[in-house]
Copies of this chain bind each other. A is one copy, B any other.
């Protein structure tokens, strides 16, 4: 139904980066409109108007309203993950070896990203997205915890899924509250609190019956 439309390098006889420009304009317009009105309320017409593009063009490049939203989310996620993983790497090079501390470094970077791009953080945490979006977020969150907490060797049992789900949602709620903070200092205090709660939860590891 949707065409991912893989792009090859520009040929000699075509103007330079036209596709990239169009896609960027659409993504920027989508960010404006979606962050102001949410997914359901936003209309395709307003997005293409603001981008100086057209409906057909949007469908050509992204495949639809849902896929455009998802593309915006992917960009956002990528930025998050790069920040988090480089923070972990830096901590590791700084001599930190304790898994809990490494996790905290990544989580802190994640939460600071939430402050830095508040508008998108709020958009993606409101629950107003295309069908199946919540499921995708859930899946992604679980992956992230599994990676970070690899030392615990989480399995696919109910109790381990619960542990991962609760940790994920704790960070997600934290990111949400960070995004609504009024000042940078306030956001900082919220971040400290979130990390404290994460510590309390992780102390003792996953519950075993």
Contacts and interface: CB of A to CB of B under 8 A. Distances in A.
Interface residues of A, number: 42
A11 interface: no
A136 B209 CA distance: 34
Number of copies: 2
Contacts of A197: 163, 166, 201, 207
Interface stretch (A20-28, A98-106, A167-175): A167-175
Contacts of A180: 158
A156 interface: no
B189 A158 contact: yes
Contacts of A204: 200
Given A162-B173, A163-B197, 16 more contacts: A126-B135, A127-B127, A128-B131, A128-B134, A158-B177, A159-B189, A161-B177, A162-B177, A162-B193, A166-B194, A169-B170, A192-B209, A196-B207, A197-B201, A197-B207, A200-B204
